[in-house]
Structure 1
């Protein structure tokens, strides 16, 4: 007799509650959320399908609240496993690693029975946050494959500490935990080009941000999740996630820089989906926002954006739109304005300048910029930068027999670069 496939608990509860299709449950969640005081929540059938799979992701706090309201059962009883240590698998078997139970009011994490009475000192939040802050600084200089495991281990520590921590330290620890998972997700997506893994990590980041009740962190995480479908050309999914990100941003004191970054993210997604006119309009709006400014300050953890980064977005979009002279002017200015610590972004800009030269029929200049990008990649690896270099090489196919292109191939496919790229 074959074993039932998927999360049969949720499916059985859905059908028992009268929702005969996954779409019906998705519609019910979306329509009932406002009645519970939850605004801007939208769930699609694709999400419900993931919940009914063999390994359902742990729903975010607002969705858990609506689900339990509609189906009359707690999330664990619906076949979900808390990613921070629940003692049950979706199928119902007990994990052999520990005996655990949920703490009252703590749905994000569980702790072993013998640890229920343990309470961490009030300093635990600040101490955990200090390590998270150090990882944020190290990201700009340490090899991503080296830093990434350390960040994940730090996040696991945070998951273990969270059930043992009380307010006000708990809020601070949860926010730092969300930032750690966000950084890990950024590395997986931009540095290591692992979009599926990044999606799972960013979901954990969103759950931690929910425990911290930090809407700006939630907005930043949601915007990062939009990159995943956006880069895959799935515009509808990307736009939906950006709507959610903007909704969360309205709930917090978002600065002008934060709102401009949201425009830049959406512009990047639109560019990847071939809508360069829409993208350029978004970038123009972002420039206006930065010029106008606001009374709110940008969060300290948002160290990946500024006017030079916005201009880099703009130059890439101008390139994709075929506005070659404008793209060259924009990108050359970006190269001058980037601070020294922006080594990773520098590889992207050099790659785009190489693409501009190739589009202008100048293979020698293209190879020059692409070679500079390889020099930078040798010092600071960045998968997104290497993607740009490879794109340039494909555009150089009409000149592949010219000496400058052959010399570039020798650089691109030398032993060190080839092995390094395959390793990563």
Structure 2
């Protein structure tokens, strides 16, 4: 496929920031007292974008959450092309240290880079996030530099692998380290690389992950906008049944956290029907975080939030039985949800036992999302906090090992 034309970095950042059209961005700039026309924004999204005026640069960087050099602009030009007549000298440009450019890379560079990306993908399930994240981020930084030295199909392959690396780095930041703001910036870079690769499914995956950020704090409208964009990209796929069901699961979790459990359960039912119906398209190689059993885990959590306690218990016990051996991160979440089920059923001792099992697993495989579930259980156990089994849970939850792990990761 030909390399996409124009300035995909700016378009991706605009979309990620919630501005679906150029007019949306124009309106946002106008609200800040900056007047630009459709033609000017079109020039910014062209293959050779002129550097905006200084006041516009600051507004663009603020609205899109990215520095100008990551929005496809050549900041080393100093903006002379768009300088206003009589405006006086522009402030000096902070130039990056001079570095020797990479020589043009052979076709093998993309395959070599992709091999490391695949290795990181597998290591995610077993390596501590504080250990893995620096390696993934450094690999992504390498990919951005190599991208400048490639062309054609080699560039496209490398860009797709780069997008996956940034996506993985963001997953570690959001799910393992609970740094949503940092993950948001990382996922913008993943979306930009997906645009360079002209890979709509990768773009859809990144956008769906970005929906988690507002979704987990109950900002339903912002999450829905990102899910609409994700589904739009998925239609350009072709998307596998697993991919489409995962989109349903993501949206269901966002709906659950905003209190719309009926909508969430309908989405999960739709996802189950898609999986049961099958399809002609295979799952993307890089999508190793979803399966029917993981859809059931989403379902159990939503049933719990909806107050369907017996159904949630049955669903989650089935998930616990079916999870693969390398799914300890997901297992900590399920154990936490089962603890919450038992707390809701007024079985506090069983709830504490599930929470302790999750903590024992977290000592081996740290996962901030799993710890959040354990803390939810502990909050539900406040009426029984003077019981010995709750004190034993507290000893484990606030032990030296748990505190050190939380700070280290």
TM-score normalised according to structure 2 size: 0.83
Name which of 239, 243, 253 aligns with 1:268.
253
Write the deviation string for residues 164-220 of structure 1: whole angstroms up to 9, x where unpaired. Answer: 111211100000000000000000000000000000000000000000000000000
Residue 221 of structure 1: how far off its partner (Å): 0.1
Residue 30 of structure 1: how far off its partner (Å): 2.5
Name which of 341, 348, 355 aligns with 1:370.
355
Segments of structure 1 that go 5 or more residues without pairing to the other structure are 1-25, 33-41, 53-63, 100-111
Name which of 41, 46, 69 aligns with 1:67.
41
CA distance in 2, matches of 1:65, 1:362: 65
CA distance in 1, matches of 2:258, 2:209: 16
Residue 21 of structure 2 corresponds to 30
Name which of 131, 154, 161 aligns with 1:146.
131
Segments of structure 2 that go 5 or more residues without pairing to the other structure are 1-17, 58-66, 80-89
User: Secondary structure of 1:232's match?
Assistant: coil
CA distance in 1, matches of 2:136, 2:95: 26
User: Secondary structure of 2:52's match?
Assistant: helix
Residue 420 of structure 1: how far off its partner (Å): 1.9
CA distance in 2, matches of 1:277, 1:212: 38
CA distance in 2, matches of 1:164, 1:200: 24
Contact 1:222 1:245 in 2 (8 A): yes
Pair 130,334 (structure 1): closer, same or farther in 2 beyond 3 Å: same
Is 1:98 aligned with 2:83? no
Residue 97 of structure 1: how far off its partner (Å): 2.7
Residue 161 of structure 1 corresponds to 146
Residue 422 of structure 1: how far off its partner (Å): 3.1
Matches within 5 A, 1:208-247: 208-247=193-232
Pair 380,149 (structure 1): closer, same or farther in 2 beyond 3 Å: same
Residue 77 of structure 1: how far off its partner (Å): 3.1
Is 1:192 aligned with 2:177? yes
Matches within 5 A, 1:229-378: 229-378=214-363
Contact 1:396 1:405 in 2 (8 A): yes
| Greater relative CO, 1 or 2 (CA 8 Å, sep 6+) | 2
Contact 1:84 1:160 in 2 (8 A): no
Pair 97,290 (structure 1): closer, same or farther in 2 beyond 3 Å: same
Contact 1:76 1:82 in 2 (8 A): no
User: Secondary structure of 1:164's match?
Assistant: coil
CA distance in 2, matches of 1:48, 1:328: 52
Contact 2:335 2:355 in 1 (8 A): yes
Residue 136 of structure 1: how far off its partner (Å): 0.2
CA distance in 2, matches of 1:65, 1:223: 30
CA distance in 2, matches of 1:376, 1:65: 56
Contact 1:270 1:278 in 2 (8 A): yes
Residue 22 of structure 1 corresponds to none
Is 1:83 aligned with 2:73? no
CA distance in 2, matches of 1:233, 1:44: 28
Write the deviation string for residues 72-115 of structure 1: whole angstroms up to 9, x where unpaired. Answer: 9926435362239955499964334335xxxxxxxxxxxx6x63
